[in-house]
Amino acid sequence: MLKYKCLVLDHDDTVVKSTPTIHYPAFQNTLKKIRPDIDMSLEDFLLYSFDPGFSSLCMDLLKFTEDEMNIQYDSWNEHVNRSIPSFYEGFDNIIKRQKSEGGLVCVVSHSNSVNILRDFNKNFGIEPDMIFGWELGEEKRKPSPYPLKEIMRIYDLSPKELLMVDDLKPGYDMAKACNVDFACAGWAHQIPKISEFMKKNCDYYFDDVRKLEQFLFN
């Protein structure tokens, strides 16, 4: 019997290794074009993505205009479309076991659904049951509770039948808003401010993908 009927997975830095090699270089490219006086390290980029989140980083802190947001999106899309990130070792076992035992796998991410679908097909040969990506727009995008509420509505699930797995605070905030259990993908990065918050506040914290697999299936 499955511990959770539905696994809800973040994508970047949870299932696939993508921020250091794709998302951060894309953002550096954007800054060179529209904020050349700003030099942001990878650690700072991850910290801002952790809290207040990527959207707030762009719109509230850096004050990107609509035109500048379009430049950012185009740069990001160019990098994502030409690079397929590798998955964290062991995630293929988790996804295949969850599906083979009759469970659901959904993805809630700030990447576009088309790229998530590409990555799953390339890495696992399996498509998620549902994907909620960046294209949904601000009101329905993580940390909005909309994705989890929609999953529960469509599949007639209670909050306790879902587990959200994410490496950053927007996923945690979304899960807590819906009373859904949250597991931190602690294998993604070891930044003290992030790991300390997650260890203190999350339902579960795993520093290795294999530990998540053992928790789910043993």
pLDDT at 218: 86
pLDDT at 90: 95
Q: How would you class 39 by CB atoms within 10 Å of its CB: exposed for 0-12, middle for 13-18, buried for 19 or more?
A: exposed
Tell me which amino acid residue 180 is.
V
Mean pLDDT by 10 residues, the chain (218 residues): 97 94 92 94 93 91 93 88 91 96 97 95 95 94 97 98 96 98 94 95 97 96
pLDDT at 77: 87
For the packed helices 169-177 and 146-155, what is the interaxial angle rounded to 10 degrees?
A: 50
CA nearest to 107, candidates 142, 139, 64, 56: 142
CB 134 within 8 A of CB 110: yes
| Element housing 204 (H / E) | strand 204-206
pLDDT at 190: 86
For the packed helices 24-34 and 66-82, what is the interaxial angle rounded to 10 degrees?
A: 140
pLDDT at 199: 96
